[in-house]
Structure 1
Amino acid sequence: MKFLAIVGSILAEFFMTRVSALKLQVEAGIVERSVDGLTPAEQLELAREQAQRLMRDARACLYKLMPQLERAGVFICNYVALNAEQQEYAREYFERVAFPVLTPLAYDPARPFPHISNMSLNLAVIIRDERKRERFARVKVPNTLPRLVPVPPPPDAPAKSQCFVWLDQLIKQHLDALFPGMEIVEAHPFRVTRDAEYVIQELEADDLLETIERGVRQRRFGEVVRLTVSPDMPDKIRVILVDNLKLEPEDIYILEPPLGMSDLFGVYSLIDRPDLKYPTFVPHYPRLLANTDDTFVAVRQRDILLHHPYDSFTPVVEFLQEAARDARVLAIKATLYRVGKNAPVVQALLDAVRNDKQVTVLVELKARFDEESNIEWAKQLEAEGVHVVYGLLGLKTHSKIALVVRDDGDEIRRYLHLSTGNYNAVTAQLYTDIGLLTCDEDMGADASDLFNYLTGYSAKTDYRKFLVAPINLRTRLEELVQREIEHAQRGDKAHIIMKMNSLVDQEMIRLFYKASQAGVKLDLIVRGMCCLRPGLAGVSDNIRVLSIVGRFLEHSRIYYFRN
């Protein structure tokens, strides 16, 4: 069920970003073919077909799951299947909890069509007044309430069973309370997905923070790119929605309920059955750090590689907390991308500046869907006296790095944390990532140069050990691939293993094809999108692509070159 929620969430983001971009290209009249030989219109048509299939498959999977849940004592019921006792319990919940939150919005010549917010679940209601006139109204299913409402289990259910009914069905059954004196003709659920992309005119922006804030506000009013409805919604209601939401018929997706599969995250949390969930996972705490209360002493002994979430994220937080308290620490510099709402890393940085450390933080405001959280942290950090910068013009700062400058008595030493993962204590328990604690001199010097590049002006193009995009990362990766090609051409063993989130870069894909044709063995571990096609005769025979799907989200990037 949790995986189905993830599928629903990712599909929603796909529509908000990818499908919306294709629609804009079609509307702009762009007909140039992409590298795969398709026009934007052709890509959009295929994307819609595949998305429709995926959404239907997800529901088929959920329906197969329901009987298994019932055998385990978890009942997710339709309202019509409830017995009298359950209906009475549900009615009391409606009157006590749901009814005060609901706001029916009418649509008639005197009142305009209401704004339908992004990702909202709604009921399209047709009422009939005393003059037999039919009217349209919209009732938003509040996302501040759980999607599933608990009711007593059936009499014959196993001990400790749990039973739930869908909130939207409960509201639908009690619409007469919202429209007293009116006849409820029919009501049907629908859900809206809006374009979440916004254009940032950075070159013209006097204040990037203000520009991003404005863009986030505009997102709420983005063009509708997907409307999901149930099969029993009649054409007359669909026409009202299409006309007022300015949709094309192709933007409507007819799906069996429940609409909004991402809401299953809440269902997973509601079900109090540890035996049906992953067992409690306790991460390992590195022995070298466990034997000392001074992280700096441990890091001076040797580099410490952390593999989250198998290794605890706590040492990273403690590294910054110790730096904030340590009288010998002179300065702390960090990049923040997605830190979340309750962020102990940010709290450590705030403590540091309160303890008179020099603290510089780059907050990336363009972290999609985390902009509001990052804006709030940036304001709070600035208010406390932290030097806050917002990244480079035209680039998104995606690196995760923390630099602590400390007076060790014999010398000024730089301590570093480098990571593929965000400084987010919550996702660090859910994502696989690699982190490195080190005081390597070359890396420390590189980190200082990198922060000077990020916060000031720098034309530096050479680093000692760092590969920095967009300066030298691509060039060096291409050199490493080319070196494997040369070994293969000489008849020597050549092997590349690369673990990444996505593979969509055309130039690198062509280079991988070239390597395969030269006899290099390539194992690519790609979590998400992969535009490379493995196993094509004469092109990619030596390339294997796989994706790891398990308890944790694969987020680490690791590149291996045999030679």
Structure 2
Amino acid sequence: MPEGGVPQVASATAQPLSLEPPMALLPRDHCILAFNERVMAWARREDVPLLERLRYLCIVSSNLDEFFEVRAAPHITAVNSLAQGVYNAQDGLALLHKAQDLVARQYALYNDALIPAFDAAGIRIVNHKDRTAAQRKWVHKHFRQAVKPLLVPVALDPAHPFPQVANKSLNMVVRLKGGDAFGRANEVAIVKLSRALPRLMQLPASICGKKRLFVSLSSMVRAHISELFDGREVVEAVQFRVTRNTELLVEEDEVDDLRTALREELAYRQFGQAVRLEVGSNCSEFLASTLQQEFDVPSQALFRVQGPVNLVRLSELIDLVNEPAMLFTPWQGSWPRQLKPAVKIMAQMRKQDVLIHQPFEQFDAVLELLREAVYDPAVVAIKQTIYRTGVKSQLIELLAQAVRMGKEVMAVVELKARFDEEANINWADALEAVGAQVVYGVVGLKTHAKMLLITRREGRGLRRYGHLSTGNYNPKTARMYTDLSYLTCDTVLTADMDAVFRHLASPNVKPRLDKLVMAPFALQHSMLTHLEACKQAALKGEYARVVVKTNAMTDEDLIHALIDAGQAGVKIDLIVRGACMLPPQVPRVTDNIRVRSIIGRFLEHSRVFYFAWGDSQEHVYLSSADWMRRNMTRRVELAWPVQEPKLRQRVIDECLVAYLHDNRDAWTQQPDGSYLPPAQPQDGDGVQNALMHLYST
């Protein structure tokens, strides 16, 4: 075993098999739902502060929203038509059944555990029937003054068809009795609740006794909805929400202006194919079938929920309560240990490469590097990729300032970053307006690589300063995601970065790179080559070890190469936060492969690839890419080697060894795709807590 390597797994003796055909892999979409099971477990944990438990429950709802928006449309289409093919009806039915079960348990947890816990703490979302006379008076007054003016009821008839219902918007469907002003018996009406209205409102302390009471928007509207239908009897009023397919259909090679085409397509995203219908559990069969027919969703995609149809918006309660005892202790990462405060970062980079482990160390150092470059008169050029930076971005403001300071600025803006398209279009507009060179990468590929390159005039020549990262240039998520930033003046590595930027600006030929490994040209091939080297070493009886930390493991070529290497005797550990299609620990097939998933306070996001074989070969890569087919073949991604011995060992110790020894927050994947939770989750110290302790001392 090479010095400084990672521990081996205890596993069976290798018995290479010839797999004809290759073994069946786990279905990806089921793996995604299994990930949300693990997230929801944190909402169950009584050692987690109460408001944080609610936050995890809301995260599950947010994840499910995205799952249906992005992954469900082919399944819904197949179920509706009983199609057989890539997405057949039985696959879709099984998936929807699993989602129904997950949602049912999610609401059971909300009703049976969280609501009583909040009530015991004096916090309650109070229903109309439980409000006192004073509380009802306040709610009614608020409804008339602040809510009713924004509501437009639409009674359905030939002149008033079903209104457009936007993706994930909150609505009420109403059943009426009697005729309208013209004697017509239009029985169904729709009331759309404006997104400008908060979903939760706090009642004044003077009418709450010793409790902190809140009222939901849907409860308020339902209690007074008869005021919207003068002269009609409201028989039934039920909240509902529709989730729609949000995949954009722009074909880059068929448009002249991608930015304009995307802007036009975004206008229709809110009204795509309906893929899920959520209604209150008390919804009658008549109204449920009316909505189901209108939105053309199968009965299996109708979710009757025991509570708010959008648990995501309950996250408002976290900010409204804002009780420190019910939240995690605030975490403020330390200034990067390799960097001295108040000393120019580029001067320190000239002495050594710098590794920043976020959020345990502050991302602020990266912003400080950019700020230093903007105001340094010797800096002549700044190049930057922009994937997700947030709606408000210091980074964009700094790039604009750099242009005003007379520097050459090139921004590679990925317009197709899912759900960030509009923000990125606006940033592209803003940067072009001040004179920055804005490019959109390569037609047909998303630019997912994260890099910043600064060129500075020094002496008679130029020196480049580079930043590479596993995560986005977003200060907000940098406080919540685990990621690795790498600062370097390495002449070969920074020359490679410059070559990639030139390729993104004008992709005439494949860039020649010496240290960087780039997708879609070489990354998958490089990983397969390293796996093959480990396999050949194992077949010779030599030491061979692979550890991969990634967010998803769904690339079938890489998965089968891992299985092949494991059968040859390579000891393999996979640390996969989300979906993993590789079934581990299958007797005589994947005995040598373990898969674990770490769910913690921070979202695991760093990608680290470790390969070792023989007596001296040890390679560590950091990367922007997950082991997914899209990352390997349909995106511009980068991986780079960590060659400085101390930094390489630090990556091994903090990102691999520590994660392989976590017995508090690590789930172990079983051959059937299920996961075993930590045996004693309240004992010991999870890896994230251990790293927080390490960087706070």
Q: Normalising by structure 1, what TM-score?
A: 0.95
The answer to whether the 8 A contact 2:408-2:436 is kept is yes
Of residues 26, 30, 40, the one that matches 2:88 is 40
Q: Tell me by how many angstroms 1:528 deviates.
A: 1.2
Q: Tell me by how many angstroms 1:89 deviates.
A: 2.2
Residues 183-234 of structure 1, C-alpha deviation per residue, up to 9 Å, x if partnerless?
A: 2221011110011112221111111111211221121220111101123211
Q: Tell me by how many angstroms 1:269 deviates.
A: 2.0
The answer to whether the 8 A contact 1:147-1:267 is kept is no
Q: Tell me by how many angstroms 1:268 deviates.
A: 1.9
Of residues 97, 110, 132, the one that matches 1:62 is 110
Instruction: Establish whether residue 316 from structure 1 lines up as the match of residue 366 from structure 2.
Output: yes
Whole-angstrom CA distance in 2 between matches of 1:262 and 1:540: 39
**Where does residue 148 of structure 1 map in the other structure?**
200
**Where does residue 560 of structure 1 map in the other structure?**
610
- Relative to structure 1, the CA distance from residue 181 to residue 31 in structure 2 (aligned partners, 3 Å threshold; closer, same or farther) is closer
Matches within 5 A, 1:19-418: 19-24=72-77, 31-32=84-85, 39-63=87-111, 64-129=113-178, 133-152=185-204, 161-418=211-468
- Relative to structure 1, the CA distance from residue 119 to residue 434 in structure 2 (aligned partners, 3 Å threshold; closer, same or farther) is same
Residues 239-291 of structure 1, C-alpha deviation per residue, up to 9 Å, x if partnerless?
A: 32123223333331222112112112222222221110111111110244343
The answer to whether the 8 A contact 2:157-2:186 is kept is no
Q: Tell me by how many angstroms 1:22 deviates.
A: 2.9
Amino acid in structure 1 at the alignment position of 2:199 = R
Q: Tell me by how many angstroms 1:101 deviates.
A: 2.1
Q: Secondary structure at the match of 2:72?
A: helix
Residues 497-552 of structure 1, C-alpha deviation per residue, up to 9 Å, x if partnerless?
A: 11111111111111111121112121111111111111111111111111111111
The answer to whether the 8 A contact 2:155-2:186 is kept is no
Q: Secondary structure at the match of 1:391?
A: coil
**Where does residue 649 of structure 2 map in the other structure?**
none
Which deviates more, 360-369 or 537-546?
Answer: 537-546
Q: Tell me by how many angstroms 1:451 deviates.
A: 0.6
- Pick 1 or 2: higher relative contact order, CA cutoff 8 A, min separation 6: 2
Q: Secondary structure at the match of 2:155?
A: strand
**Where does residue 14 of structure 1 map in the other structure?**
67
Whole-angstrom CA distance in 1 between matches of 2:205 and 2:96: 40
Aligned length: 556
- Relative to structure 1, the CA distance from residue 156 to residue 460 in structure 2 (aligned partners, 3 Å threshold; closer, same or farther) is closer
Instruction: Establish whether residue 494 from structure 1 lines up as the match of residue 544 from structure 2.
Output: yes
Which consecutive residues of structure 2, in runs of 5 or more, have no partner in the other structure?
Answer: 1-53, 614-697
Q: Tell me by how many angstroms 1:28 deviates.
A: 8.5
- Relative to structure 1, the CA distance from residue 156 to residue 317 in structure 2 (aligned partners, 3 Å threshold; closer, same or farther) is closer
Q: Tell me by how many angstroms 1:129 deviates.
A: 4.2
Amino acid in structure 1 at the alignment position of 2:153 = P
- Relative to structure 1, the CA distance from residue 346 to residue 192 in structure 2 (aligned partners, 3 Å threshold; closer, same or farther) is same
Whole-angstrom CA distance in 2 between matches of 1:453 and 1:25: 40
**Where does residue 36 of structure 1 map in the other structure?**
none
Which deviates more, 262-271 or 445-454?
Answer: 262-271
Whole-angstrom CA distance in 2 between matches of 1:40 and 1:372: 34
Amino acid in structure 2 at the alignment position of 1:10 = N
Amino acid in structure 2 at the alignment position of 1:53 = D
Whole-angstrom CA distance in 1 between matches of 2:420 and 2:94: 29
Q: Secondary structure at the match of 1:112?
A: coil
Identity over aligned residues, as a percent? 38
- Relative to structure 1, the CA distance from residue 129 to residue 25 in structure 2 (aligned partners, 3 Å threshold; closer, same or farther) is closer
Whole-angstrom CA distance in 2 between matches of 1:493 and 1:539: 20
Q: Secondary structure at the match of 2:253?
A: helix
Residues 151-195 of structure 1, C-alpha deviation per residue, up to 9 Å, x if partnerless?
A: 25698965xx42112210111001122223322221011110011
Which deviates more, 331-340 or 459-468?
Answer: 459-468
Amino acid in structure 2 at the alignment position of 1:60 = A
Q: Secondary structure at the match of 2:587?
A: coil
Amino acid in structure 1 at the alignment position of 2:121 = A
Instruction: Establish whether residue 4 from structure 1 lines up as the match of residue 52 from structure 2.
Output: no
Matches within 5 A, 1:382-531: 382-460=432-510, 462-531=512-581
- Relative to structure 1, the CA distance from residue 392 to residue 322 in structure 2 (aligned partners, 3 Å threshold; closer, same or farther) is same
The answer to whether the 8 A contact 1:126-1:136 is kept is yes
The answer to whether the 8 A contact 1:461-1:471 is kept is no
The answer to whether the 8 A contact 2:124-2:214 is kept is yes
- Relative to structure 1, the CA distance from residue 30 to residue 112 in structure 2 (aligned partners, 3 Å threshold; closer, same or farther) is closer
Give runs of ≥4 in structure 1 deviating > 6 Å: 26-30, 153-157
Residues 92-113 of structure 1, C-alpha deviation per residue, up to 9 Å, x if partnerless?
A: 2222222222222221122111
**Where does residue 685 of structure 2 map in the other structure?**
none
Whole-angstrom CA distance in 2 between matches of 1:26 and 1:184: 35
Whole-angstrom CA distance in 1 between matches of 2:295 and 2:303: 14
Q: Secondary structure at the match of 1:464?
A: coil
Amino acid in structure 1 at the alignment position of 2:522 = N
- Relative to structure 1, the CA distance from residue 389 to residue 26 in structure 2 (aligned partners, 3 Å threshold; closer, same or farther) is farther
Which deviates more, 126-135 or 262-271?
Answer: 126-135
Q: Tell me by how many angstroms 1:353 deviates.
A: 0.5
Whole-angstrom CA distance in 2 between matches of 1:392 and 1:60: 47
Q: Tell me by how many angstroms 1:44 deviates.
A: 1.0
Q: Secondary structure at the match of 2:531?
A: helix
- Relative to structure 1, the CA distance from residue 247 to residue 457 in structure 2 (aligned partners, 3 Å threshold; closer, same or farther) is closer
Q: Normalising by structure 2, what TM-score?
A: 0.77
Which consecutive residues of structure 1, in runs of 5 or more, have no partner in the other structure?
Answer: 34-38
Q: Tell me by how many angstroms 1:81 deviates.
A: 1.6
Q: Secondary structure at the match of 1:547?
A: strand
- Relative to structure 1, the CA distance from residue 28 to residue 321 in structure 2 (aligned partners, 3 Å threshold; closer, same or farther) is farther
The answer to whether the 8 A contact 1:73-1:157 is kept is no
Whole-angstrom CA distance in 1 between matches of 2:600 and 2:496: 36
Q: Secondary structure at the match of 1:544?
A: strand
Residues 391-441 of structure 1, C-alpha deviation per residue, up to 9 Å, x if partnerless?
A: 111111100001000012253100001001111111111111111111111
Amino acid in structure 2 at the alignment position of 1:484 = C
Whole-angstrom CA distance in 2 between matches of 1:507 and 1:214: 37
Q: Secondary structure at the match of 2:384?
A: strand
The answer to whether the 8 A contact 2:388-2:474 is kept is yes
Whole-angstrom CA distance in 1 between matches of 2:352 and 2:319: 41
Residues 356-380 of structure 1, C-alpha deviation per residue, up to 9 Å, x if partnerless?
A: 1000111001101110111111111
Whole-angstrom CA distance in 2 between matches of 1:312 and 1:219: 36
Whole-angstrom CA distance in 2 between matches of 1:96 and 1:30: 51
Q: Secondary structure at the match of 2:447?
A: coil
Which deviates more, 367-376 or 458-467?
Answer: 458-467
RMSD across aligned positions (CA): 1.9
The answer to whether the 8 A contact 2:156-2:186 is kept is no
The answer to whether the 8 A contact 2:176-2:236 is kept is yes
